[in-house]
Amino acid sequence: MTELAASQPVIDIKARKTAMSQPYKPPKMDTRMQRLRRQLESSFQPMELDIQDDGAQHAGHAHEGSGHFSVRIVAPAFASRSRLQRHRMIYAALDNMLQTDIHALSIKALAPGEFR
């Protein structure tokens, strides 16, 4: 019996009780808005960034409640760029998300000092 006991794993009862007494914390969910914000912040280092989830405004729509967003972003990267160029820059930065997570995106991209 001594050989068998030596080969068995050792369980730290005190550590097990401590771990089991902790409340269950579900894994953090990375929402689409969080990923959208993180991607835009890393791509453009904006001075201002406002993201709205417009999903509730699309009741009855084929993609009801999923992937409808409005973005207002102010960043130096947009200086001396046309509106079309700014939108293309944002679409390029969000390429992966546009394939899977974003169904509709309204964009207002401004350079610092512009007010529209």
Residue 94 structure tokens: 């969000």
Angle between helix 32-44 and helix 83-93 axes, rounded to 10 deg: 120
What domains are there in the chain, each with its CATH number? 32-110 (3.30.300.90)
Question: Residue 13: its pLDDT value, please?
Answer: 59
CB 67 within 8 A of CB 103: yes
At 63-100, the pLDDT tens digits run 445 688 999 999 999 999 999 999 999 999 999 999 98
Q: Which residue has the higher pLDDT, 52 or 6?
A: 52
Q: Which residue has the higher pLDDT, 87 or 58?
A: 87
CA distance 29 to 101: 14
Residues comprising the chain, all counted: 116
At 4-38, the pLDDT tens digits run 555 555 656 555 555 556 665 555 555 888 999 99
